[in-house]
Every structure is written in structure tokens, then in C-alpha cells.
Chains A and B, each alone.
Chain A
Amino acid sequence: MAEELQHLIRAAQAGDLASFARLHAQFVGRAYSVCLRLLVDVQKAEDACQETFIKVWQQLPQFRGDSAFGTWLHRIATHTAIDLWRKDKLLRLVDEGEPDSQVAPPDEGVPKDLEKAIAALPRQARAVFVLFAIEGFTHAEIAGLLEIAEGSSKAHYHRARQLLQESLSER
């Protein structure tokens, strides 16, 4: 399995589109997932996902395997989604406390209540929550990614948990 992945990576590094298509099929779900949870909009999540794989294609020849390919790709997806999240924030000039109005419907079979409650969180709290609780980033890393103080990241996270518990207990 790992050997097959290495072969696909080497072939894609050399420009083989068929191998890159197989890498895409293997990793698109993971990339799309973080994009959708951060952006809460199917179209924007798809755009971020496409941009992620274009960057991966462009940077692949420089990938030396210092980290796992999936981890490397996931980092690119997260950064890409955060960039769009930040641009979106500037464009819409929304109140930080306002949740996004357009909530993406979760897939069948996932814990829908929690997914919906996360999507309905205020933007900053949602971003921190997704990155910390689901994606495994530290508060220091999140502070750097979102350009906020580490203490703010922690505060947003606790607020997000409180809101989620309230939301879930109402259902």
C-alpha cells in the first residue's frame, strides 16, 4: 500500500496525470472535509479543494517526503481554506459574532446534529474549534494561522464548546 503510494507520488512528480488522478481520488475527501468545515459553503469548499490540488500539482516536484504525503497535502488544504476564509471575511465585512447564513448540508450517515451545530458557530469560534478539536492543531499554531493571540484562540475554543453544548442540549 505504502509502496503503491510512493510509486504514485513519483509518477505524479514526473508529470503523470493518471497517477495524480489516483492521488486525487485517494485524498480529495480529507482535503474537502477541512475546507467544508472551515468555509461552510459547498461551492467555496469545492473551490478551495481545487486550489489545493493545483498547488499540490505545482509543488509536487519539490516534495521530498520529509513528512507523510497526506499530512503535507492536508497542510496545504488547511492553509488554502484559511486564506479563502480570511478573504471571505474581508469581503463580507460580517460581524464576528454572526454565524454564516449558508450552512452546507452534511453527508448522510455523519453525526448531523453536531455538524450543523459546528456550522452554525460564529466564524472565528468555528475556525478555532475545527482546527483544534477536529484537525489537531495546537493553539499556538492556530494563533499563527488565524493571526490572533494564542489566548484568543483558547477563548474562542471554550466559547465554541459552550455554544455546541447548548445547541445540542436544545435538540
Chain B
Amino acid sequence: MNDRDDIAPHSSDDDALDLAIQALPRSQNPARDLWPALQAQLPPRRARRAPWSWAAAAVVAALVLSIWIRPDLGPSSVTAPPLAQLDSPTAEHSLLNVYETQKASQMATLNFSNPSVSRQLAIWDGAVQQVRGALSYYPEEPRLLRQLDRLYRQQLSYLETLAMVDPQVAAYY
């Protein structure tokens, strides 16, 4: 017999109370947004230096090089955030906001079902996730931010090229 059974014999009132207790919400949001005040109170914290993260960064660098498949696909009309932003604490999110919007817009105009295209995009997405994983340990690391920037530029240039070529030709990309 545990704590939960250690209750006097149940009447119908007990059952009704138990049901009502079970129906109580376990989560209630405060009436106002507490985040702005909380943010102002949070003490600054330096990024944690994981001993293996330099190795992770090296793996990411190798991965980036390995998927540099079309050097001729340089950025053309791709709009990048100002380089100065790359040094700001929110640079990663600025990059994501700008590039993911552009990427979604380009993807919406494409109508392809070629598995090799999907596979290629998945490789880029995987590389982006790898860089973001490394950035979670080194949020201010400029080289990782530049790698993220470069990956998105390549991906967008690739999509841009796909949009311009004949779908049959695009099958070879």
C-alpha cells in the first residue's frame, strides 16, 4: 500500500472530488508576459566551452568542404544580412530569418520531384544543423557563423539555378 491508496474508503463524493482534481489544469499561463522583466534580471553568462566542440567544428568544416559540389554556383541575387551582423549575439537567428524566408520563397516556386535534388537539399540541411549544433556551444564564433552563411548561400544559389533551368535538365543537378 502506498501513499495514494492510504485514503479512507471512497464514497461517491470522494470519487467526484477525485475526478474534479484530475480535471484541474497542470499548467496555467500568467496573465502577463513575464519574459521582458525576466530577461532584464538574468545575469550574464559566458558560453560553455565543451572540450570536444573544436573537434565538432572540425567535422563541420570537413562536411562543408565535402558538399562544396558546384563552386561555379556563386551567390548572385541572394540577399545576405550585413556582415556586421555576423558578430552580433543574435547573428545566427538573423541569418536563419533572412535565409529561411528566401529559401521558402524559392522552394514555393519550384516544382521538382527529383530524388537527387531532395537528397542534395537534405545534405545541406544536415550541414546547417551541424553548424547550428556547434554554434550552440560557441554562439559568438565568427567562423561558424560564416560557415552557416556560406551554406545558405550555396543552397539558395542551387535553388536559384534549378528555377532557371528546364525541369529535365534540372534532373541532373
A158 and B8 form a contact (CB under 8 A): yes
B residues neighboring A (CB under 8 Å): 2-3, 6-8, 13-14, 16-17, 20-21, 23-32, 34-35, 37-39, 41-43, 45-48, 89-90, 93, 132-133, 135-139
Provide the bound-state CA to CA distance between A13 and B43, in Å.
Answer: 13
Find B24's partner among A20, A115, A139 (CB 8 Å cutoff). A115
Provide the bound-state CA to CA distance between A114 and B25, in Å.
Answer: 11
Quick one: given A29-B27, A138-B3, are A61 and B45 in contact (CB under 8 Å)? yes
B17 and A164 form a contact (CB under 8 A): yes
Quick one: given A114-B24, A133-B21, A154-B6, are A15 and B45 in contact (CB under 8 Å)? yes
A residues neighboring B (CB under 8 Å): 7, 10-11, 13-21, 24-25, 28-30, 32-33, 36, 42, 45-46, 49-50, 53-54, 57-58, 61, 106-107, 110-111, 114-115, 132-134, 138-140, 154, 158, 161, 164-165, 168-169
A50 and B25 form a contact (CB under 8 A): no
Pick 16 A–B contacts, CB within 8 A, sort by A.
A10-B133, A10-B136, A11-B135, A15-B45, A17-B42, A18-B93, A24-B35, A28-B34, A28-B35, A33-B26, A46-B34, A50-B34, A54-B38, A58-B43, A161-B7, A168-B16
Q: Is the interface of B mostly helix, strand, loop or mixed?
A: loop
- The smallest beta-carbon distance between B91 and chain A, in angstroms, is 11
A134 and B21 form a contact (CB under 8 A): yes
Find A50's partner among B27, B37, B90 (CB 8 Å cutoff). B37
Provide the bound-state CA to CA distance between A117 and B39, in Å.
Answer: 35
B46 and A132 form a contact (CB under 8 A): no
Provide the bound-state CA to CA distance between A37 and B143, in Å.
Answer: 48
4 tightest Cβ-Cβ pairs between the two chains A and B: A29-B27, A11-B136, A29-B29, A33-B28
- The smallest beta-carbon distance between A163 and chain B, in angstroms, is 11
B17 and A168 form a contact (CB under 8 A): yes
Provide the bound-state CA to CA distance between A49 and B29, in Å.
Answer: 11
Which residues on A sit within 8 Å (CB–CB) of B34? 24, 28, 32, 46, 49-50, 53
